[in-house]
């Protein structure tokens, strides 16, 4: 998930959401965790999209319970389990 002490930089990443059937809480968390991952990748603390997907998956499972499957990046890095 997102560390409690993490504060996003003052420059926001522009988003363009065309359609979303998530709750407002889930949508806000999605934007926060993806922004966190983006900055971690920019600082080379996360190197691969599969690692980003794993981090997002674990964050969602902590925040919203259940089993989540995450696919992200230009090469569709993924992390899921059966």
Q: Which pTM value belongs to this model?
A: 0.77
Q: What is the pLDDT of residues 60-74, one digit of tens each?
A: 999 999 988 888 877
Contact (CB, 8 A) for 56 and 37: yes
Contact (CB, 8 A) for 79 and 50: yes
Indicate whether 7 pLDDT > 70.
yes
Indicate whether 78 pLDDT > 90.
no
Of the two residues 52 and 77, the one the predictor is more confident about is 52
As a dihedral over the C-alpha atoms of residue 82, residue 26, residue 42, residue 7, rounded to 10 degrees, the angle is -130
Indicate whether 6 pLDDT > 80.
no
What is the C-alpha to C-alpha distance for residues 20 and 81, in angstroms, rounded to an integer?
Answer: 25
The mean pLDDT of 53-64, rounded to a whole number, is 92
């Amino acid at each position: 998930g997102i560390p409690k002490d993490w504060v996003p930089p003052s420059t926001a990443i522009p988003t363009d959401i065309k359609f979303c059937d998530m709750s407002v809480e889930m949508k806000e968390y999605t934007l926060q965790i993806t922004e966190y991952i983006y900055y971690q990748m920019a600082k080379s603390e996360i190197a691969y999209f599969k690692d980003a997907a794993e981090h997002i998956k674990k964050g969602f499972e902590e925040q919203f319970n259940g089993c989540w499957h995450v696919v992200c990046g230009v090469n569709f890095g993924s992390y899921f389990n059966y």
